[in-house]
Amino acid sequence: MTQEPRYGDGANRKVRVAVVFGGQSGEHDVSLRSAQTVLAALDDDRFEAVPIGVTRDGKWLTSSDPMAQLTATSPLFALDGPAEPDVETLEVSVTSRAQSLPSGFGSEIDVVFPVLHGPMGEDGTVQGLLELAGIPYVGSNVLGSALAMDKAMAKLVLQQHGLPQADWMLVNRRDWEQDPGAIAERIGEQLGYPCFVKPANMGSSVGVSKVHDPTELAAAVELAGRLDRRIVVEEGLNVRELEVSVLGNEAPIASVVGEVVSVNEFYDYSAKYVDEGSQLIVPADIPAEVQAEIQRVAVDAFLALDLAGLARVDFFLDTDTGRVLLNEINTMPGFTSISMYPRLWEASGVSLPELVERLLELALARADERKASTAHS
């Protein structure tokens, strides 16, 4: 980032960056780890960090060390080690209007880095709040955030753009409850087994199940249905799991490609954050032409969903056919010390502090573009 801060009192004033973390989704604990990484990467000579926590029930914490308050109750920071979240406890609370924005938030902050993963944070809700407040923020706008968060809607848009994906279908929880036999028959006929069942709106593989045969289907659908009324079912293939990071606004670029080798049968929440043994291989051992195709499709998908700032794009490489298949797009990927997004950029020559600066610059640049569009309207 080469320009002087464009917000505040000039070059002698540090840019005040609100780093927002926690939130009301099942990814609350992961958000805390990601935010710690972002806070540590901020250049103290140029930025003033303002930590802001959001509790599991939607209250904003702006004083008395919000990070310490939230980590004190987080299983990922417990003395006896991390634990997989209990799906039964992941109900999203409704925040009162009085709690929707901290007092003085808008007038005191130059730019927000919303390090929030999952619903009520990564899905356009917080982005809409910041739009109303007129505060620049890192990441995609309301539309892009909402589209990418909803796996079914993202798949439909990407399908319209001709991007390759595995076969899938959408199941509504109400339809399943009314006639599970008919839904099970459709899944068996259209997708077969094994298949994957996941909530349409969730990340970090929370609520995701691999279904090996029809006897496991009901439990998987009911698990996903506790987190969302819309459930995505995808065909199960023999694949390698590959990931690439994207950075930019109107002219995004893609990093080198990495590979995930899960310690479990698939890369679920436990394999990501609890169990030891999963490997993140950077760069992936793949032919140059496969990497080029993945990078191209990742950028096309980023633009198709009208994303901005950052995204991690996940792919499957079908080991039976050699096809490259787009899996999911994450608009606020993990920023922990072991997360793929920063690791892939580091392998591409962009250090973590530089990456955070670039993201803040992209946020400020987009805010300037929005002002210019308003001025011409």
Instruction: Give the active site residues.
Output: 27, 204, 273, 312, 314, 328, 330, 334
| Contacts with 150 (C-beta within 8 Å, 6 or more apart), sequence order | 123, 200, 201, 230
The DSSP-derived string for 333-352 is ---STT-HHHHHHHHTT--H
Whose tokens are 């959408």? That residue is 170
| Contacts with 147 (C-beta within 8 Å, 6 or more apart), sequence order | 153, 154, 157, 305, 306
Rounded alpha-carbon distances, angstroms, from residue 331 to 123, 138, 143: 9, 10, 11
Whose tokens are 């890369």? That residue is 267
| 205-212 CB contacts, 8 Å cutoff, 24+ apart | 205/266, 205/267, 205/268, 205/269, 205/271, 205/272, 206/26, 206/27, 206/85, 206/87, 206/90, 206/118, 206/269, 207/26, 207/87, 208/266, 208/268, 208/269, 210/236, 210/265, 210/266, 211/236
If you ran DSSP here, which 8-state letter would residue 205 be given? T
Sign of CA dihedral 286, 290, 295, 300: negative
If you ran DSSP here, which 8-state letter would residue 104 be given? T
Contact present, 152 and 232 (Cβ < 8 Å): yes
A 10 A CB-CB count for 44 gives 8
| Contacts with 319 (C-beta within 8 Å, 6 or more apart), sequence order | 238, 239, 240
3-state SS assignment for residue 50 = strand
Q: What are phi and psi of 357, to 5 degrees?
A: -60, -45
At 106, the amino acid letter reads G
| Contacts with 371 (C-beta within 8 Å, 6 or more apart), sequence order | none
